[in-house]
Structure 1
Amino acid sequence: MHTDTERCVRAVRSKDARFDGWFFTAVLTTGIYCRPSCPVVPPKARNMVFHPSAAACQQAGFRACKRCRPDTSPGSPEWNRRADLTARAMRLIADGVVDRDGVPGLAARLGYSTRQIERQLRAELGAGPLALARAQRAQTARLLIETTALPMADLAFAAGFASVRTFNDTVREVFALSPGELRTRAPKNHGSGGTPGTLALRLPFRTPLNPDNLFGHLAATAVPGVEEWRDGAYRRTLRLPHGHGIAALAPAPGHIACRLTLTDPRDLPVAISRCRRLLDLDADPVAIDGQLRTDPLLAPLVDKAPGRRVPRTVDADEFAVRAVLGQQVSTAAARTHAARLVTAHGDPVEDPEGGLTHLFPTPRALAAVDPGTLALPRTRRATFTTLVGRLADGSLRLGVESDWPRTRAQLLALPGFGPWTADVIAMRALGDPDAFLPTDLGVRRAARGLGLPATPAALTARAADWRPWRAYAVQYLWATDDHPINVLPGREEARP
């Protein structure tokens, strides 16, 4: 979008927050860059240039605006609606791969050379992977400076910097303030969540956001010990690169309230990225709902409760296992099966604030399970053992870097995997916004009630007009049912 100068100028002049994260405005006369919704008086058009990323602005010598804080804008929805090389690379960078494994590690995960990765990212984003990762480190540093009391030396390494000097230089260059000045300007509560090591953050999103199906689904399907709904928040354990953590997420006016308790502060950017992905916070609901409204039978559902997101996952392997456990059984039965595995094979954690007890077991731990101990039908036991074996040996990789069509084909080749299982994994674990479930009982029942075709083939044909947002159409169709997944906990009295 940043190449469409006229459209960008209109967005800046109208201070349209819908475009925050889509592009950034660099002001030639001041040397700063802003988000489109910056509250200051817009500069003259001839003094504005537009960049596709904060990293590109920083590469060009611009520093972040102190008013609108463009480094904290929602992520571009482009990276969650595409499966090409650039989008997959951006999802991996957000997950901290460059900080942990360098550019060679990023290239290895994607199956391309480092030169190809560099060339592709520079062509589309105006910055290479190192600059993009550096911009993310700067944002993490600012969060830690403003929300914790960590000493600056500890904070520098927690944010991913190799030295305190590099940390100081980067913060000054990006924000035109020293780390000490940033902390002085910040509120003095240090983001305390009431527990030592807990950070309280605000996760931004593009409006509108309907929390009912999003949090309702996560709460209704929560695996005891790993997830819970407590005190108005969805809470769960997180397995992270350097340790583990607990996230508490709650809808609030204009943002998602997020409390993170981490055993290692280096995991902060990864934890934030996974929480945003879980709640689909980088989606563009205006574009999605606008497309779905073109179908006259879907339009009333969208108008009634716009801004539905797709509840996703923080761990693709975990979700795939849970999808198999949930085949042809009730939600309660699926939770029971998963809870037994968690108790027997999950890693224990301490949760002073609630009832979380374990991390979900890794594929390697589950691959060692005796199939005879599983309270599952024989065919589903075979499906389970095949899946966890393939995940454990690396022959099947599910993650943010997945090529959606290829991974779906790999899943369908596994015994016991039909279209429903493959597509629900594609929708919620891989993040494919166009994944569709025409064989799902709830989708077919909703389609019949709306006057849409109810047979899978006919419904798929009709849903071609909903592309590339069919996963969101599924959320609107599911919402027609009287089921706990559609109700924000605490609002049960509002159910029909």
Structure 2
Amino acid sequence: MHTDTERCVGAVQSKDARFDGVFFTAVRTTRIYCRPSCPVVPPKPENMEFHPSAASCQRAGFRACKRCRPDTSPGSPEWNVRADAVARAVRLIQDGVVDREGVPGLARRLGWSTRQIERQLLAELGAGPLALARAQRAQTARVLIETTLLPLGEIAFAAGFASIRTFNDTVREVFALTPGELRARAARRADGAGTAAATPGVISLRLPFRTPLEPSNLFGHLAATAVPGVEEWRDGAYRRTLSLPYGHGIVALAPRADHIACRLSLTDPRDLTQAISRCRRLLDLDADPVAVDERLRADPLLAPIVDTAPGRRVPGTVDPDEFAVRAVLGQQVSTAAARTHAARLVTAYGTPVDDPEGGLTHLFPGPEALAALDPETLALPRSRRTTLLTLVRALADGSLSLGPAEDREKTRARLLALPGFGPWTTEIIAMRALGDPDAFLPGDLGVRRAAEGLGLPGTPAALTAGAAHWRPWRAYAVQYLWATDDHPINLLPSEGH
């Protein structure tokens, strides 16, 4: 996109927010970079240059605009759609791997050399892994500075900086303000969007997205399938516990007209970047709904349900391993039964946590804890016990990985090789745990029933053939098909949900 100068200039001149995060506009005369929708008067086209990432702008010597705050743009949808190694590298960097394991750790996960990673990322994003991680650290620092009362020295290390000097230099270079000036500026903002959190230890922030966003199926699904003790709907927000690299947390996510209100309580602030990244994946906030709906609307049979509630997202997960376990527990049973099975595992094997604001009691148990469970204690058919134990042991010993770096097709093949894994379980994991926007469930009863009601083919083979022109957005088509039913997963939950 950033190489198409004419298209980029048009997007900037029309202040098209759909392209926020897809490319960045750097102004040669002011040495400032902006998002395409920046509210200031657009510069002359000859003074613009376009970059594929904020890190690329920073690397070229530009600083972030104080008006449009381009570093807070939604992420480019490209990196979630693509399945190649560059996209997987970007997803790992977003999850904080470079901060925790360095570039060698990133290379090891991808099976590349550090030189290959540097060259490929530089070619596509205009910045290498260290520069991309640095830009992310700067944004994390900004969030902590503006939304918490943590001392600036603690923020430096929580954001991943190796020293306070590096923290000070980076913040000043990226934002043209010192950390202290950033905090003072946030405190003066009249709308209160960035002021320090009123509750000690709680970080309040806005998660941006591209409009439109239809929240009903997104939050309805999360609330209807919530595992007691781990998840709940309370005070108009979906709340859940989070297992994170340095500790744990509790998050509350509530839909708003132009953002998702997010409140995070973390035992270690170093987990902020990972927590935000996982919440964005959970709610599919980096999607491009206009592109998705445009493709699906081209099918005259789908167009009416797309037009009824455009902007549906695909619910994801904050923990791929957790979702895989829950997918097995949900095989051929009702939503309520799946919740009951999961709640029993949580009570028996989950780590207890304190939740002063609600009813959350545990972290969902990881594969290591579940690998040691006694199968005779599971109120499941014997074949399902075998499936569950085989899965958690494979996850625990590393022979199966479901993280953001995994090759989607190879992972599908590994899942299908496990006992008890058929196309439905494999595709639902691909859809929600691996984030594949083209995952498809032609054998799902709800999908088949909806398809037949719309005049689409009803058999899995015929439906798959007929859905070829929905690609690469078939996972979104599934959401629209499911939405034709009045099941609670399709309804925005009420307070009594």
TM-score range, shorter chain: over 0.9
Q: Is the 8 A contact 1:191 1:201 kept in 2?
A: no
1:429 corresponds to which residue? 433
The one of 302, 307, 316 aligned to 2:306? 302
Letter in 2 for 1:152: L
Question: Offset at 1:187?
Answer: 2.6
One-letter code of the match for 1:153? G
Q: Percent identity?
A: 81
Q: Deviations over 1:227-276 (max 9, x none)?
A: 00001000000000000000000001210000000000010111001001
Range that drifts further, 179-188 or 391-400: 179-188
- Point out 4+ residue stretches in structure 1 off by more than 2 angstroms: 187-196
Q: Do residues 172 (structure 1) and 177 (structure 2) align? A: no
Gaps of 5+ in 1: none
Q: How does 1:48-447 map to 2 (within 5 A)?
A: 48-187=48-187, 195-447=199-451
User: Quick one: which amino acid aligns to residue 75 of structure 2?
Assistant: G
CA separation in 2, counterparts of 1:192 and 1:381? 48
Q: Within 2, Cα distance between the matches of 1:187 and 1:305?
A: 38
8 Å Cα contact 1:38-1:67 kept in structure 2: yes
Displacement after TM superposition at 1:196 (Å): 2.6
Matched position secondary structure for 2:340: helix
- Greater mean alpha carbon deviation, residues 239-248 or residues 108-117: 108-117
Distance 2:199 2:159 in 1: 21
Partner Cα distance (1:191, 1:286) in 2:
32
Q: Distance in 1 between matches of 2:111 and 2:375?
A: 34
Distance in 1, matches of 2:10 and 2:365, equals: 50
CA positional deviation for 1:337: 0.2
Q: TM-score, with normalisation over the residues of structure 2? A: 0.98
Output the CA distance in 2 between the equivalents of 1:193 and 1:228.
23
Describe the superposition over 1:424-451 as per-residue Cα deviations: whole angstroms up to 9, x where unpaired: 0000000000000000000000001000
Between the aligned partners of 2:495 and 2:309, the Cα distance in structure 1 is: 15
The equivalent residue for 1:481 is 485
Structural mapping, 1:33-44, within 5 Å? 33-44=33-44
Separation (CA, whole Å) in 2 of partners of 1:392 and 1:250: 33
1:68 and 1:218 map into 2 onto residues whose CA distance is 32
Write the letter of the residue equivalent to 1:429.
Answer: A
Given candidates 459, 462, 465, the residue that maps to 2:466 is 462
Report the Cα distance in structure 1 between the residues aligned to 2:395 and 2:151, rounded to whole angstroms.
40
Q: How many pairs were matched up?
A: 493
2-structure distance, mates of 1:415, 1:113: 35
2:33 counterpart SS class: strand
Alpha-carbon distance between aligned partners in 1 of 2:116 and 2:11, rounded to the nearest angstrom: 33
Cα distance in 2, alignment partners of residues 255 and 450 from structure 1: 33
Q: Give the Cα–Cα distance (whole angstroms) in 1 for the partners of residues 183 and 388 of structure 2.
A: 50
Q: Secondary structure at the residue paired with 1:397?
A: coil
Preserved CA contact (<8 Å) 2:235 2:495 = no
Judge conservation of contact 1:192–1:198 (CA < 8 Å) in 2: no
What are the Cα deviations for residues 91-113 of structure 1, in whole angstroms up to 9, with x where unaligned? 00000000000000001111111
> Matched residue of 2:433: which SS?
helix
CA contact (8 A) 1:103 1:130 kept: yes
C-alpha contact 1:35 1:70 (8 A) present in aligned 2: yes
CA distances 1:168-206 after superposition (whole Å, capped 9, x unpaired)? 000010011111111111036775665431111000000
Q: Deviations over 1:202-232 (max 9, x none)?
A: 0000000000000000000000000000010
2:198, 2:306 → 1: CA distance? 39
- Please give the alpha-carbon distance, in whole angstroms, between the structure 1 residues aligned to 2:53 and 2:319: 27
Q: How many angstroms apart in 2 are the aligned matches of 1:171 and 1:104?
A: 26
Which runs of no fewer than 5 residues in structure 2 stay unpaired? none
